[in-house]
Structure 1
Amino acid sequence: MTEKDCGHHVEDERHNLQRRLITALIVFVTLILFTILLIFLILRPTKPHFILQDATVYAFNTSTPFNFLTTNIQITIASRNPNDKIGIYYDRLDVYATYRGQQVTLPTLMPQTYQGHKDVSIWSPFVYGNNVPIAPYLGNEISQDIIFGTILLNVRIDGRVRWKVGNFISSKYHLDVNCPAYVGIGGKFLGNSVVVGKYQLVQSCNVDV
């Protein structure tokens, strides 16, 4: 065997070794990912349960003829993790209010939270909007609702969550929460603030993940 043939033989062995190492690494990583996915599917994470506990409307005022709406609402909302072995990371939670499909407050960012197995988290943020433009027909709808003494608001949460199984943390999933709140209109006072309406009823929310 010539020196040139020996050089080719050594180079071929080196390439074969590299291919075997790369193949082994790919198989190893694939097995790990498959195992994690299998565990994740077996445990089958259940989406969190959200409950609207309280909504106090301090301002819900329209200005005419410009069709602007000013709102100031404090809500209390609770979330429960129903899973036995899966934790939930709430990476981002934006809460806001809508009226008849139109957003009428700015989104309020709630703090990031980790929720362990069967844990419950409670938030009480304010959501508000100053002179928010609304569709012309909504001004009439609001006037009618005030006459009847009840306003239907929807408290919405738009967020991102991750699941934690052991040391494995999933990628981010979109969270959409919708909580209806029938608020009775009244001329009450709380401290120095006028309370337009107060809603107190444990109401389950619709949750999509």
Structure 2
Amino acid sequence: MQPASSCYGSRQSEGMSLISGDPEEQSPRDCSRSRSSSSAKHRRRRCRVLIATSSTVASLASLALILWLTLRPSSPRFSLLAATATVDDAAASASIVVDAALAAHNPNAHATALYGQLRATASYAGVPLGACAPLPPLEQPDQGDAVLSALLTSSTSPPSAWRPVPGAQALLRVRIEGQLRWKVASWVSGRHGLTVDCVAAVVPSSSPGKQQRQGSSSSSPSQCATQVL
């Protein structure tokens, strides 16, 4: 009977050794929990970075909007100070020369106006005129004034039937086109299109003994229409 009990005892100890090894092994469920925890940490970190970046961008945009609303520049104001038209109809091909002076005012207290690529055109009594040379760039300080001069001449001879009538008003239109930028401290805005239209009535007067007639605009400056795009 002793051999049977020893054989039974050996089988029992084998079974106990197999059972005692199970708790030391990691189950598939534990691996899944570890991976999901790592993924959640990565998502939380990414959300924090995204929130911080969004907050910074929103703060900068709000600051720029507040500065723009506080220092928003107003359009400059132009006026036609004087204009003289000279008509030479003695030559075989008649010509018209207009000398115009315009005043520019920057109404802004915290912004400098930067003008560039300025060009002038005009028409006198329906005859188109072009500028002899482009206008130079101009930097106008805050609440400053500047005078622009343009010498314009007809590129083609007026029609043969065209003749100014002494004592009658002739309509003069002067147009300035160019680009405008604003400078606030060290910040400079983008380029904006600038268009200035001026209209004045010029009365030609005959010059005895000369083959030229001249006219001048009224003594009071005429306001111009200014458009900034």
Report the TM-score when normalising by structure 1. Answer: 0.71
Deviation at 1:194, TM superposition (A): 4.1
Alignment of 1:44-83 (within 5 A): 44-59=72-87, 61=89, 70-83=95-108
Supply the RMSD in Å over aligned alpha carbons: 3.7
Deviation at 1:32, TM superposition (A): 3.2
Q: Which has the higher contact order (CA 8 A, sep 6+)?
A: 1
**Larger deviation, residues 173-182 vs 35-44:** 35-44
Larger Rg: 1 or 2?
2
Tell me the amino acid that sits aligned with residue 128 of structure 2: V
Counterpart position of 2:129: 105
Alignment of 1:1-209 (within 5 A): 28=56, 31-59=59-87, 61=89, 70-99=95-124, 104-107=128-131, 108-131=133-156, 142-143=162-163, 146=165, 149-188=168-207, 194-201=212-219, 202-209=221-228
CA distance, structure 1, for counterparts of residue 87 and residue 127 of structure 2: 15
Cα contact 1:54–1:200 (8 A) shared by 2? yes
Deviation at 1:193, TM superposition (A): 9.5
Cα contact 1:56–1:195 (8 A) shared by 2? no
| Structure 1 pair 130–96 and aligned structure 2 pair: CA distance change class (3 A) | same
| Structure 1 pair 20–129 and aligned structure 2 pair: CA distance change class (3 A) | farther
Deviation at 1:47, TM superposition (A): 0.9
Residue-pair matches, total: 191
Tell me the amino acid that sits aligned with residue 159 of structure 1: G
Deviation at 1:98, TM superposition (A): 2.1
CA distance, structure 2, for counterparts of residue 185 and residue 103 of structure 1: 15
Cα contact 2:90–2:212 (8 A) shared by 1? no
Deviation at 1:30, TM superposition (A): 5.6
Structure 1: gaps spanning 5 or more residues: 1-8
Cα contact 1:78–1:120 (8 A) shared by 2? yes
CA distance, structure 2, for counterparts of residue 32 and residue 162 of structure 1: 22
CA distance, structure 2, for counterparts of residue 48 and residue 149 of structure 1: 33
Q: Which runs of 4+ in 1 moved over 3 A?
A: 16-34, 60-64, 192-195
Cα contact 1:81–1:115 (8 A) shared by 2? yes
| Structure 1 pair 129–37 and aligned structure 2 pair: CA distance change class (3 A) | farther
Relative to total residues, which structure has the larger strand share, 1 or 2? 1
Deviation at 1:147, TM superposition (A): 5.4
| Structure 1 pair 61–50 and aligned structure 2 pair: CA distance change class (3 A) | farther
Cα contact 2:87–2:94 (8 A) shared by 1? no
| Structure 1 pair 131–40 and aligned structure 2 pair: CA distance change class (3 A) | same
Report the TM-score when normalising by structure 2. Answer: 0.66
| Structure 1 pair 117–186 and aligned structure 2 pair: CA distance change class (3 A) | same
Q: Deviations over 1:113-141 (max 9, x none)?
A: 11111101112221112325x7x7xx76x
Structure 2: gaps spanning 5 or more residues: 1-37
